[in-house]
Amino acid sequence: MTRITVQGLGLVGGFGTGCGALAQALALGRSPRSSLEVPTGAGPVLLDAFRADTGALKDLISPKVLRRMDHITRMALLAARLALADAGLEASGHEGLGVVLASGYGATASTYGLLDSMINDGDACTSPTHFANSLHNACSGNLAIALGANGPNLTVSQFDLSVPSALLSARQWLLDGRVERVLFGAVDELSDLTGYLWYRQHGPTGPGPMSPLRTRAASALPGEGAAFLLLSSRAEAQPGYCTLENVVLGPGPMPPTRNLLVLGADGRTATGARYAAAAEGAQVACFTPLYGSMPVAPAFDLAVAALMLRAGTLYPTPSGAPCDFPCVVAPAGPLAGQGLTCLALGDDGAFGSVAMRPISP
C-alpha cells in the first residue's frame, strides 16, 4: 500500500502567517480579530472577522507580478510557497508536480469586479482581466505559472465539502502513481459579496469568542485564508508531519472511528445540531475559533491535525462557552500514537472525513 505523508504546511489566516503563527495561536487558544466593512442598504456595517495579511509576499514575488494578482491568488501563492519551503523544496521549477485546489466560493472579489465593470461601464467595457480572474481555476493556473508546476492541475468547488472532496482526488493521484507529490491547497476570501452574504445570513457579529461546541449558540465569525499541504508518496529525506490514511465522503452518517475527532463545527446554528449528533460519544477537539468560519476551514483543521500528530501532543480546544455536545472534549496532552479524523459536514447533510496518523518509525 502506498504511504502518503504530509511533508510541508503553508498557512495564512487570521492567526497570522506560517506554522509558527498557528502554533502560537493554538498554545494561546486565541487569534487576533480584525474587521470587515460590509456595504449594506443601511450603510457600511463593520463585522468582526479573521483576515489574512499577505504582506509577506512582497519579499517573495516581484512587485510587477504582485500588482496583477488578486487577493485570493495572493493568499494561495503565499501559502503554497510556505508549504514548499517547509517541505524543503525550491520555490519554482516543479516539473510534474500535481496541484489540487479547493475553494468554496472562488474569486468573489474578482467576480464582483467583473460585474462592476459591466454595470458601471456597460457591456462593451466588461473587464477581460476580471473575467479571467473570476474563473475558479484562475488561482491554481496562476500558482502553476508561479511555481513552474506543470503536472496535473485540478480545482474543486463543493462549498463546505470542497476540502475533503478535492483531497480525495489528490490522494487518488498519489495512490495511482500519476504523480509523486501533490501541492494540495484550499483558499477562500472575504469580499463585499461574501461579507454581505454573511451579514444577511448571520447578522452582526457578537463580542464573544466562537463557541462551536454549543448546539444553538450562533457564535460564528467570518474568516478567510489559505492552507496548503505538500503531500508525497515518495520516500522523502525528512519524515514529515503525519500520514494521510483515508478520505471518505458520503451522504452520512460517517462510519464509526476510534480516532479522536477534529470537528469542523464553527458556531453556525445551521450545522451545530448535526455536528453534535456526529460527535456523540466521541472524544473531540475543535479549533475553528482560531481561523473562523469559511467553506475551506477544514483545510486548517488538517493543518492543526498535522502539527499535533508530529508533536505527539493534543492542543487544547480553545474555550468559548461550555460544550453541550454529547461528547467528551479531549484534554490537552500526549496523543500516545492515536490517529485523528477531521470531520466536515455540508449544509445538505453530507459529510467528509479525513483520517490521519502519526508517522511510524
Partner 1 sequence: MNRTEPVALTGLGCICALGSTVDACCAGLFQDQRHLAPPSRFTSAHAIRYPVFEVRGFPEVPGLLRTSALALHAAREALADAGLDAAALQGLRVGVVVGTTVGSTMNDEGFCRAHRADEEPGLAPMERILNSNPAAVLARTFGLRGPCQTVVNACSSGTDALGVGAAWIRGGLCDLVLAGGADELGRITYNGFISLKITDEAPCRPFDRDRKGLNLGEGAAMVVLEGAASHRRRNRRARSFLLGYGSACDAYHPTAPEPQGAGLKRAIAEALAGAGLPPEAMAFVNAHGTGTPENDRVESRALQAVLPGVPYFSTKGFTGHTLGAAGAIEAVFTAVCLEQGRIPANLGFSTPDPELGGTPVAQATTVTGLAALSESLAFGGNNAVVVLGKGEQA
Q: Which is nearer to partner 1, 173 or 315 (CB)?
A: 173
Residue closer to partner 1 (CB basis): 286 or 344 = 344
What's the min distance (Å) between Cβ of 185 and partner 1? Answer: 14
Query: Which residue, 221 or 350, is less far from partner 1 as judged by CB?
Result: 350
Q: In whole angstroms, how large is the CA radius of gyration of the chain?
A: 19
Question: In this structure, what is the dihedral angle of CA atoms 301, 303, 308, 309, given to the nearest 10 degrees?
Answer: 110
User: Quick one: 51 or 171, whose CB is closer to partner 1?
Assistant: 171
Q: How far apart are CA 175 and CA 177, in angstroms?
A: 5
- Torsion sign, CA atoms 109, 11, 262, 139: positive
> Which lies closer to partner 1 via its Cβ, residue 171 or residue 214?
171
The dihedral region occupied by 333, where left means phi > 0, alpha psi between -120 and 50, and beta the remainder, is left
Q: What are phi and psi for residue 149, nearest 5 degrees? A: -95, 100
Q: Which is nearer to partner 1, 154 or 329 (CB)?
A: 154
**CB-based contact 113:138 (threshold 8 Å):** no
CB of 9 to partner 1, least distance (A): 23
Q: Considering the complex, what minimum distance in angstroms separates the CB of residue 200 from partner 1?
A: 5
**Distance (Å, rounded) from C-alpha 267 to C-alpha 209?**
10
Q: Smallest gap, in angstroms, from Cβ of residue 348 to partner 1?
A: 6
Cα 354 to Cα 244: distance, rounded to the nearest angstrom: 8
In whole angstroms, the minimum distance from the beta carbon of 30 to partner 1 comes to: 30
Minimum separation from the CB atom of position 155 to partner 1 (A): 5
